[in-house]
Amino acid sequence: MLGNRVRQLISSDLRLRLMMIQIFILTGFILFSGLTIYQTACWLVGDINGIADAAQSGFHVDLLRYFWIISGAAIIIGSFIYLKVTHSILKPIQQLKQSVIEIRNGRYPALIDFHDQSDDIGQLVHHFNDLNKKLQLNEELRNLMLSDMSHELRTPLSNLRGYLEALNKGVIDGDPSIYQSLAEETQRITDLLSQVDWIREWDGTSQGTMITPERVKVSDLIDHVVKLYQLEFERKRVSLIVDVEPIDLYIDRRGIHQVLINLLGNALNYYEGKETVELRGHKQGMDYILYVKGPGQPIPAEHIDKVFERFFRVDTSRSRETGGSGLGLAISKEIVERHNGKLKLESKGNIHKFIIRLPNVSSPS
């Protein structure tokens, strides 16, 4: 649609017609003005007594000659100026047309260099440049995601293949430990695909899933999440403090439940130190704040924002088993933002604090 619109704006036939109409109007205006001045001058001279007929006739001839010379020069100069101005106006649109054609053919053109945004053309070029950059970014993210997914799946699939080939050839005998390893590798694939489904469902670059808010007791929701990890915290001898101010919020129960599972799971899986893991919640102005705080590996300052990118790991040397898929925080950020909230990380040394800020909405909007 955009390409068709641009082609309509800058078709050769349209440009030619516009130029001819403008030049015709310019020529007509100059000739009309010149003839009016000529006739007025002749009339005024004719009313002056004492001027010979021959002198008047010569004056008329000279005046007519200068009229044609000046009018012709004005038409030529005016047309030249008009063509230059028209070219400067249409140049960015011609570049826009060529860029649209390149995008249609699967290529991403360079940004159009046009800084004047004071008119419709400038704004059109500005919006097109923004669209071009977003398309390129989405393409890069898509390629990166496909590459990372391939890498993520290759490891457990290779392990499964190795075990199955060894069992088939009799190199190893089936025993409970082998079957447990096969089950773990299968579960890793299942978990990854499940998280990919969550990303697709909550993807902010598409329509995704609309949140279905319902009245939720936050304390009950958190109690349920804590119970899922209680035995694991006890097994790893990690202390957990839960302190949540009671409140009812209208939220998507399933979505926020997944966010809390991701954050508390990360606090446990990446736990390094002796400090207590904290899960707290309280009202703050018009918002409700939830945060998960605990010790882990120090995170470089330049990686603070990147932790919410898909497949990003601070420690790339971690295995997929201990380092997760790198999708959990990306999913969590998408879900929180769908609630018009924010998810951010505050890190000081080895203490990391993931903060969820949700609008304090206790009734349907």
Task: Give the pLDDT confidence score for residue 131 in this predicted structure.
Answer: 83
Structural domain ending residue among the three candidates 51, 79, 107: 107
143 located within any domain: no
The reply to whether 61 falls in a domain is: yes
Amino acid of residue 213? P
Q: Is the pTM of this model over 0.85?
A: no
* Buried/exposed 161-178: b ≥16 CB within 10 Å, e otherwise: eebeeeeeeeeeeeeeee
Backbone torsions φ then ψ of 247, nearest 5 degrees: -165, 150
User: What pairs with residue 292 in β-bridges?
Assistant: 279, 354
* 122 in a structural domain: no
**For the chain, what is the domain count?**
2
Q: Is residue 177 part of a domain?
A: no
Domain end residue (candidates: 70, 89, 107): 107
- Residue 178 belongs to some domain of the structure: no
Distances (CA, A) of 163 to 111, 187, 209, 255: 52, 15, 39, 37
For residue 46, the model assigns a pLDDT of: 61
For residues 227 and 346, membership in a common domain is answered with yes
Domain boundary residue, one of 55, 77, 107: 107
d(CA 214, CA 252): 6
Range of the domain at 273: 214-316+323-359
pLDDT tens string, the chain, 365 residues long: the values are 444 544 444 455 556 666 677 777 777 777 777 777 766 666 656 655 555 566 667 766 777 777 777 777 777 877 787 777 777 777 777 778 788 888 888 787 888 777 666 667 778 888 888 888 888 877 776 777 677 667 667 777 887 888 788 888 888 777 888 788 788 778 777 877 776 776 666 665 444 456 788 999 999 999 999 998 888 899 899 999 999 999 999 999 988 998 999 899 889 988 998 899 999 999 999 999 999 999 998 888 887 887 887 766 665 545 444 445 567 788 888 889 889 999 999 999 899 999 999 998 765 55
User: Does 2 reside within a domain?
Assistant: yes
Residue 313 corresponds to which tokens in the numbers above? Answer: 């790991």
Residue identified by tokens 């704006």 is: 9
**The two structure tokens encoding residue 173:** 């005998």
How many other CB atoms are found less than 10 A from the CB of residue 298? 15
Q: Are 280 and 243 a contacting pair, CB within 8 Å?
A: yes
Closest C-alpha among 129, 121, 51 to residue 93: 121
- CATH at 339: 3.30.565.10
Residue 171 in any domain: the answer is no
Per-residue model confidence (pLDDT) at position 343: 94
Residue 205 lies in a domain: no
